[in-house]
Structure formats: C-alpha cells, structure tokens
Amino acid sequence: MSELQFFDRVLARLRAVPYTDLQIVADATHVSLSNLRKIRYGEVKNPGVQTVQALDDYFARIDGTGEHFSQISESIHSPDLPAKGS
C-alpha cells in the first residue's frame, strides 16, 4: 500500500467519526482537536507521519482489526483508549 493510499484510508476513517466524537479521538491520539478538524476538512493536506500513524493505530485498536501500515512506537499512542461505541 502506498503512503497516499494509507493516508486516504486513515482520512476516510477520520471522516466517518461523528463530529461529536472527535474530542475522544483527540484525547486518545494526543492530536489536538483543532488539528483533527483541519485534517478532516482538508485544510491540512500533508499531516505529519506521527499524526497519521497515531490515527491509524487508534482506529485499528477500536475497530479490532490490528491492521497497521507500519509499527508505531509506544510513546505515540495511549494505552487507555475508549471502547468501540463509547
């Protein structure tokens, strides 16, 4: 999978998150709510690798897929993620 396809997949998943739940994603990924909004609405076209990887890690964990594009360091993600549907 190319980096562009990877980002497109993460962006599609971010856009599927209900707007009211963006703060949950922000808290769990340590990505600011403002930055998540900008990424979601295309104001940030090329977010940092750590940001995209943190989002991918979060979505993989809550979706139960465990499918990651690459390994993520322990310092990027939070061990206390909310359960799916919370």
Structure-model confidence comparison of residues 71 and 3, the more confident one = 3
Domain range enclosing 56: 3-63
Instruction: For residues 29 and 62, give the distance between their C-alpha atoms in angstroms, rounded to a whole number.
Output: 12
Is 23 part of a structural domain of the chain?
yes
Is 70 part of a structural domain of the chain?
no
Is 71 part of a structural domain of the chain?
no
Those residues with Cβ within 8 angstroms of residue 44's Cβ, 6 or more apart along the chain or in another chain: 35, 38
Is 26 part of a structural domain of the chain?
yes
Structural domain count of the chain: 1
Q: What is the pLDDT of residues 22-77, one digit of tens each?
A: 999 999 999 999 999 999 999 998 999 999 999 999 999 998 865 554 433 333 34
Is 74 part of a structural domain of the chain?
no
Is 43 part of a structural domain of the chain?
yes
Closest C-alpha to 62, from 35, 30, 32, 28: 28
For 11, counting Cβ atoms within 10 Å of its Cβ (0-12 exposed, 13-18 middle, 19+ buried), the class is middle
Is 84 part of a structural domain of the chain?
no
What are the start-end ranges of the E strands in the chain? none
pLDDT at 83: 46
Is 13 part of a structural domain of the chain?
yes
